[in-house]
Structures are given as C-alpha cells and as structure tokens.
Chain A
Amino acid sequence: MSSKRSPAEAVAARLGSLPDRLGAYWAGRELPKRLVLGGIVLVVALLTVVPLVFLLWTSVWSGYPGEFAGELTLDNFAAVYLGDFFPIVELVINSLTIAVGMTATGMAFGLGAAWLFVRTDLPTKGEMELVLLSCQAIPGYVYAIMYVTTYGSDNGLVTAAIEATLGIEQLPIDIYSPWGIAFIAGINVVPTFYLLTVPALQNMDPMLEEVSRIHGASMLATIRSISFPLIKPAILSATIVIFLYGLGEFAVVSILGTKNGFDVFSTAILSAINGRFPPGYGEAAALSCLLLVVMLVFVWYYRQVTARKESFMTFTGRRHRSHVWSLGRWRWPLALALWGGLFFIWVFPILVLLVVSVHETWYGRLDPAALTLDNYYVAVTDPNIQQAFTNSLLVAVGGATLGTVLVVGTAYYTERTDGRLRGVVDFLTLTPLAVPGIIIGAGLLFTFLWVGNVHPVVDLYGTLAIIIVGCVVVFLPVSSRIAVGNIVQIHSDLEEAARISGATWLGQMREIFLPLFKNTTVVIWFFLAMHVIQLLSIPLITYTSDTVVIPVRLYQLYMYEPGIALVAAISSIFILLTVGSLLGLRRVGVTFYELGER
C-alpha cells in the first residue's frame, strides 16, 4: 500500500469518520436529549405565553389584530371600564353568582359523596361512584340542553307534567334564573370536586382517627378536631379550583342564559368577538384582562394553599385501607335517597334526551304517536354534520397526539433532568388553569390574525390546527399533572442503570423509559382525545365555516335553528360514542378518572 494518500482520499477518510466524531460529540453534549426536550419545552412556552401576549397587545391597540397601522391606546379599557360597551357591573355580579353557586353545589355534592364513598359503609357505593364518574363523560352544554328538555320551564318533561297535574301555570323553580344556571353548572363539576378531595380522604392514616377515639373523643369530636383539619387543605384547594372554573364558566351559561339575556364574562367576550359588527376585538381583550388579574390572585393563593397542603399531606406516603365509619341502620335509607338524587340529577335527563331524540318535534310531553327515527337519519346523512364529525375526530386525534408528546416531554424535563428552566416550565404548564377557555381562544385568534398577516405559511386562521392547539393548551394543566404524578412512580435508577450499562439517552428512552411509561402515555392520550372532542369554548371562538366541529354544530343548532329534537339525536350519538369508548377502554384496563385530576 502506498504510504502517501491522495488529498481526495484524505478528505474521504475524514468525512467517513465524521459520523463517528459527530456521534461522540453529540453523546458528550447529550445533544439528542437537549434537542428533543428543548424543542418540547420551547413549544410549551410558545403555546402558553404567546396567546396572552397577543391578547394584551390587542387590548392596547387602536387597530384590529393584524392591522399594523395602528397605535397604542387605552381607549379599549376606557370603553370597557368607564364607558358602556359592556354592562360591566352586571357582568361582575353575574360571574360571581355563577362562581359561588357552582362552587357551593360542587362542594355540597362532591365532598359529601367523597366522604360517604370513602369513609362509610354505605351500600352500593361502588356503583354510585361509577354513575357519578361516567356522567363526567357528558359535556356541560349537553347537560344544559338535557335540563332544558327535562326541567325547563316551557318544554321540560317534568315541569310540564307537574304543572299539568297540579293545574298551575308556572312552577316557582326556574332553571333559567341565575341560581338555576349556577346549580346546573355546579352539577357538572361535582365529579371534579369529588376527584380532588378523594385522595386526601383515602390517604389519611386511619390510625390518627382511631387514636382519637381510643383517647376518649366521640365520633363527632373526632371528625371535627382530627379528620376535618387534616383534609381541610385538600378541600380548600378544590374549592379554589372550582371557583376559578366558575369565574370562567361558559358552556352552561351560554346555553341557558340566552333566554333571559344573562351574560357573564366569557359569554360577553365571545359575543363581542363573534356577535357584533364591527367586532369588538380590543374591548373583548380589555375585558379579558380584568378576569385574568382576578384569576392570577386566586392562583397565587392556590399555590400558597397547595404548598402548605404538601407539608400536611406528607405525613404518610402510603395509601391506607381506610377505616370505615358505620352508618348503622341509616345505611339503606341513605343509599336509597342518594340513588334517588343520582337518578333525577344525572341519569333521568339522559333518558329524557333519548326520548326527545325520537320525537319529530318536542312539546314537553311523551307523544307515542309522533315517534320517529328521522332525526337520527338526518344526523347520520346530513353532509354538514358528517363534516363536523370528521373534523371532531381529526381535532381529537391531533390534539391528543400533540398534547401527549408535549406533556410527556415536559414531565420528563421537569422530573428527570436538572435543567435550569424546570420551575418555569412547571409553572407554565399550570398557567392555563387560570385562563378560561374563551380567553385562550381569543388570545389564539388574535395571535393568528397578527401572525397570519406576516406570512401565509403561518396563517393558521380558519384551520383545524388552531383548534387543536387551543384544546391542547386548555388541557395542559390536568394532563401534565397525570404525567408528573406517574413519572415519579418510575424509579430513576432504572434509567440510570441503562445508561451505565452502555445505552445512549435515546437508547435508554426507547428501551426503558418509554416502555415503562407506555400505560400512562396511553391514558393521557385517551384522556386528551375524550376531553378535546367535547370542548366547546375553543372551537366556538376560532371556527370558520370549514372547521365546524360537533360541539359547535350542536351549539348552532340549539341557538339559531329550531329543532331541539335533532340536537338531542346528535347529542345521543355523541354521548353514546364517548361513553361507549370509555366503557370499552375500561374493559381493556384503561381507566383515567382515578388518575385524573390530582
């Protein structure tokens, strides 16, 4: 062999060794890890921060979003808070009414159920829990429509029947009144309140109560001085979370409030953007700011409370077989009463919806002569509705996939690396908790009106992508809690052992972490798909005629087109699909309500 190499050979040799050398360089810098996690973290930061930035910009801009020829101004704020663009005082009062009523309802039923199901020997409590949690699969606006057909003052089956029996004109109970709306909105958050307080009750060491009894305290004294103080932090944080939901509540209010022109912040923001001409973008943004500030205060308080809660809760890490109080001879009467309540509040409206869906038109009473399957025929064959179903599926699959990647990536970043931005990223994944869906939607809309004007490539306005992105942001807090809660269950030694055994970071992820995290990933994906497909607020504020999804179609049909029977038929199909897939998943072992909202 010649000892001298041609320059070409030398270059080729150097190039040939390039992959190896690059590989070594990469491994040393953990470059793949940095690229993957850095990319995910960047996307999360963009998604959570950018819409708020554009929202703020729009609120202080004289032109429309996307209209660069404008200037900074405080006119929008003046119009909202000093002028009469919105009935601002009324909005504040209404929003507070809804938030308070919703929280009270959620707490009364949710906490009551949590205590009865976890800490007493109530018969059939497992079945009751199943009913309660399964109903969470039905979105709030569908419940609102069901209540209209069941307990509504004009066409409600029950109301009409009672009025006919008693021979009176009008029952004194009105679901369209502010407190009626608040109650129905509250019914929707009972499962959430339940899930937020159950872990505290389950984790409480029963010996703490036993010791109190042994040392002479009565049952009531024990509950008052031992049990309640121990779970108080959990109750407080659940209350704050629900109150935040209440301040931003949209779906139920928009369905039930229209009749009497009852508006809260969210509905006013939506109608300023969608329902006025010319649209009040700047005013809507300025109004959002007040709500954001209020929310921020509550979130700050929430963090104070939960920080304390952790120190409370760490007194024992194990999940205990709870000590159960005996209800004695009240067991069965109480169980029967609860089943009655469950039936009339959660189950009966569903049955009525099914009944309505097989009537040609609905007049508030069963009409055996007018039974028909026409509505289902229309629901299945109407091209608009078919399109909406397709869109909904695309949004669900896209949202679930994007969301799962982001959530698993950020959870890995915050729990498994010593990255400097861990605290910030963790905080960012929680911020959407403080931003109602309508405001996230408005922020996204403004963002893409601005950004889309810069270059058509980034013009996502009027695409399903904007809906997908918005839905992911809305469910980021809850789904990232699921991921974080489960990632800490996998011992990091397992991953380190793989690295020490010679695997690269990517190899370790492929062989160890992702296989071990597979179940949680599947749970998160289905959790997101299930919730994204039902979400009304984001699509409603960002849709165009090509991107109508099922929740939007239902809303349009209910609001603008007569025919509650068709709405009932579509809802029935929708519910059947979601509850059906839920039960199907349960059979194959995927349950996520237990994991749900920690």
Chain B
Amino acid sequence: MTTEPQLSVRGITKRFGSAFELSATDLTVGDDEIVALLGPSGCGKTTILRCIAGVETPDSGSVEIGGRVVDSPEISAPPEERNVGMVYQNYAIWPHKTVYENVVFPLEHASHGIPESEYDERVAEMLELMEIPELADKPATDLSGGQQQRTALARALVYEPDLLLMDEPLSNLDRELRKQMRYELQRLQHELSVSILYVTHDQEEAFYLADRVIILHEGRVVERGSPEELYESPKSAFTRRFIGARNPFNGRIEVDGSGGRILTTDFLDVELTSTNYMSNGEGPGEVSCFLRPEDVSICENGDSPGRVALQGTVVAEGILGDRYEVTVGFDDTDTELTVHCGEYRNLSRGDRLDLRVDPAAIQVYRNET
C-alpha cells in the first residue's frame, strides 16, 4: 500500500534530568498495521508512546497522526485533539463510572462524526464486539482484570480513532488470559482494521501480534524488522541476547592449509561454509555463535547425513510447559547446550547422550572489535 502512514514520528528526543534520555527516534505505523515497540523496562518505549499521545512533550522532533502534525518545534496539540485511543497497562478504568459511562466518555468529549442519537447503539456494538454486553451497567470497581481490559479496549476504539496506542496491555493478566487476549487482539485488528502501536517487553507478544517490530534499548532503536527477520537472523548483539532462548557459545574462525575456513569451538569443529555465517569478514578471528534449542536433536540410533554428531552428559532435565528440556554439558568445557524435544524422555543427571546438530542452524557472528 502506498497510503500515508497513520503515524509518523521523526527524530523525537526527550531528556529527564540527567538520568535518562531518549535519543532521536523515528518510526511509522501504516494503515491497518500493528507495530510493536519491544524492549526491556526503562528503555524508553513508554516515553515514546506518551509523547505520541500528547501527555508528555518531546524536547525536539515531530509527530504526525493521520497526516496532521500534532507535535513540532512550533506546536504541541493537547492530547484531546490528537484523535488517538490508548489502552494503559493498568487499564485506567475510571472507578467512579459504570462500564457504559466509561465507554461512552470519548463519544461525549472527542470530536468525531457520530451523532449523539447513535451513542447508545455504538457503545452496545462495541461491548458486543468485546463480548461483554452484559456488563454495561456494572460499576467499574466490580470488574475482573480481563473485563477491565475489554472495557479499556472498547473505550479506546469506540470513536474510531486514527491510531490505537497500547502500553503493555496484557502484562497485568495471568498466563492463560494473556494467551486468549493476544488471540482476540489479532482478531479485533482484522475486523476493525485499525492501526496499532503496541508497547511491550514480551518478545512472544510482539512477534505474535506485530507486522513490524522495533527493538529499543537505552533510549535508542537498535533494530527493526519483521518478526520473521528478527527471529531468524537478528543483526545486533542486544537483540540476540534480548530475544533469548538460543544457546550462545564462543568460537574462532581458523583457516586451514587449503584455504578453507573452519569454525572451531571447544566442543565442535565444522566448515564455516556449512554454517549460517551472518557477517562478511574474511580471515580468521573470534566469533559468537548461537544455536536454537529446537535445532539440536537427540539421536536414538544410526546416523543422520549432513549432521554433526556430539556426545555429552546430562546436567539438568525437566518438563517445561509443553515440552521436555535437557541441558547437556561437554567433557572438559564450560559450554552447555539446551535441547528441546516434543516428547518426554526418561533421562537423569549424568546420563550420556548422543546429539545431532545441523550446522546450517548455527548462527555465527564475527565479534566486533
């Protein structure tokens, strides 16, 4: 699509005393797109969101929403004129109002094209969509976490804002509810085709929901891309660490007599060309390697062509969620590999174990010097 982005943020900065700084940040959210801002707590993602909503004023830079400049060095529109919806981490449901009163509030105060006679119908529709029509007249203090979440969503969407801002909306819910709401958010987004900027520290949430993910660290963007790109081949060291759950280990590239490059580590040696070499340095040097737990398999019998065979000792094992996890150590090294398998295995600490690794699954990054 070539339409104007619903949100475009250019070079906003914000400084709080000397302790924290948000350095020049750009981002866009297109029509009907979900963009996730992903980062650890304190990375500045909520500050960006608050600057966009207008409850915080950036020190410099500009913000455009729906093609209209709302923040620039010259002007700063108050929040009520920005035509956005927002869902807070703690939902910010007004405790002295009923669910209906909460949801109808934006219709009564914001500017939009909906005539007053349709407010009731509109609220009812919204509550229907959120599957809480029966709660309309309940006082907000009677709601469970999930119900507050749905009320907050209904309130944010009821007047069809240009942009929906969500600040860690699922992090106060318990595990099961979080899964369910994650799914419902995706469904809603498809039904309403609204543009969403979604702030979270949860990698699963971001990758599940977003069309594009922006990774933030210490007030600056470290990487951006589609969930697939970031998952398959993260470029920055921070992203690799933050996305986590991939076995890291160190190695070196050595050049043998015939000019072939070999990746050597303390538990395996393979030809570099067979691995997923992510840098373009020639010559020998130190590298960091990553191997996802699901790319290591436990070998029962026989050999699998093209795979590297390893033998190690079980260090720890146990059932983790819906899978079985084994951590394997290798003789005379500090390196340990975590392995995931779908079915339960009756292993115990100290057992010897045969593993197979597809070299192509090993991501190799040259260390920056």
A residues lining the B interface (CB < 8 Å): 27-28, 30, 491, 493-494, 496-505, 507, 511-512, 515-516
Contacts and interface: CB of A to CB of B under 8 A. Distances in A.
A423 to B, nearest CB: 14
Nearest to A33: B78
B80 A499 contact: yes
B95 A497 contact: no
Given A493-B92, A498-B105, A502-B110, A27 B80 contact: yes
Nearest to B112: A502
A389 B159 CA distance: 56
B106 A501 contact: yes
Nearest to A494: B92
Given A27-B78, A499-B54, A507 B109 contact: yes
B94 A512 contact: yes
A503 B105 CA distance: 8
15 contacts: A27-B80, A491-B90, A493-B92, A494-B95, A496-B53, A496-B86, A499-B79, A501-B80, A502-B80, A502-B105, A502-B106, A503-B80, A503-B109, A504-B78, A516-B96
Contact of B78 (A28, A494, A511, A515): A28
Contact of B85 (A498, A500, A515): A500
Closest 4 A-B residue pairs measured CB to CB?
A502-B110, A501-B106, A499-B79, A502-B109
B100 to A, nearest CB: 14
Interface in B93-118: 94-96, 105-106, 109-111
Nearest to B155: A501
A287 B11 CA distance: 60
A497 B86 contact: yes
Contacts of A496: 53, 55, 79, 86, 92
B79 A500 contact: yes
A27 B81 CA distance: 9
Given A494-B92, A497-B88, A502 B78 contact: no
B196 interface: no
A418 to B, nearest CB: 9
A412 B75 CA distance: 25
A493 to B, nearest CB: 4
A502 B81 CA distance: 7
A515 B96 contact: yes
B253 to A, nearest CB: 51
A494 to B, nearest CB: 5
Given A491-B92, A494-B94, A28 B53 contact: no
A502 B159 contact: yes
Given A499-B54, A500-B53, A500-B80, 15 more contacts: A28-B78, A493-B88, A494-B95, A496-B53, A496-B79, A498-B105, A499-B79, A499-B80, A500-B79, A501-B110, A501-B155, A502-B110, A503-B80, A503-B109, A504-B109
A500 B111 CA distance: 12
A515 B155 CA distance: 19
Contacts of B75: 28
B77 A28 contact: yes
Contacts of B88: 493, 497
Instruction: Indicate the member of A494, A505, A512 with the most B CB atoms within 10 Å.
Output: A494
Contacts of A516: 94-96
A499 B55 contact: yes
A27 B78 CA distance: 7
B171 to A, nearest CB: 14
Given A494-B94, A516-B95, A501 B78 contact: no
A505 B78 CA distance: 9
A278 B94 CA distance: 62
B35 interface: no
Nearest to B79: A499
A511 B88 CA distance: 19
Instruction: Indicate the member of A30, A500, A515 with the most B CB atoms within 10 Å.
Output: A500
B150 interface: no
A500 B55 contact: yes
Contacts of A500: 53-55, 79-80, 82, 84-86, 165
A493 B77 CA distance: 18
Nearest to A492: B55
A440 to B, nearest CB: 36
A494 B77 CA distance: 19
Interface in B163-202: 165
Instruction: Indicate the member of A30, A498, A505 with the most B CB atoms within 10 Å.
Output: A498
A493 B168 CA distance: 14
B286 to A, nearest CB: 45
Contacts of A507: 80, 109
Instruction: Indicate the member of B75, B88, B165 with the most A CB atoms within 10 Å.
Output: B88
A494 B84 CA distance: 16
B312 to A, nearest CB: 42
Contacts of B80: 27, 499-504, 507
Nearest to A503: B109
Nearest to A516: B96
Contacts of B81: 27
A494 B96 CA distance: 11
Contacts of B76: 28
Contacts of A491: 90, 92
A502 B86 CA distance: 11
B82 A501 contact: no
B90 A501 contact: no
Contacts of B90: 491, 493
Contacts of B78: 27-28, 30, 499, 504-505
Instruction: Indicate the member of A491, A496, A502, A505 with the most B CB atoms within 10 Å.
Output: A502
Nearest to B165: A500
B88 to A, nearest CB: 5
A459 to B, nearest CB: 42
A501 B109 contact: yes
A152 to B, nearest CB: 53
Contacts of A502: 80, 105-106, 109-111, 159
A490 to B, nearest CB: 9
Nearest to A26: B78
Instruction: Indicate the member of B54, B80, B84, B110 with the most A CB atoms within 10 Å.
Output: B80
A501 to B, nearest CB: 4
Contacts of B82: 500
B75 to A, nearest CB: 7
Nearest to A498: B105
A502 B80 CA distance: 4
A504 B105 CA distance: 12
A330 B95 CA distance: 47
Nearest to B78: A27
A6 to B, nearest CB: 32
A515 B80 CA distance: 20
A112 to B, nearest CB: 39
Contacts of A499: 54-55, 78-80
Contacts of A28: 75-78
Contacts of B95: 494, 516
A497 B96 contact: no
Contacts of B54: 499-500
A500 B164 CA distance: 11
Nearest to B106: A501
Interface string B141-174: 0000000000000011001000001000000000
Nearest to A29: B78
Contacts of A501: 80, 85, 105-106, 109-110, 155-156, 159
Interface in B102-142: 105-106, 109-111
A491 B92 CA distance: 8
Instruction: Indicate the member of B84, B109, B155, B165 with the most A CB atoms within 10 Å.
Output: B109
A499 B80 CA distance: 5
A507 B110 CA distance: 11
Contacts of B92: 491, 493-494, 496-497
A391 to B, nearest CB: 37
A30 B55 CA distance: 12
B358 to A, nearest CB: 48
A32 B156 CA distance: 26
Contacts of A27: 78, 80-81
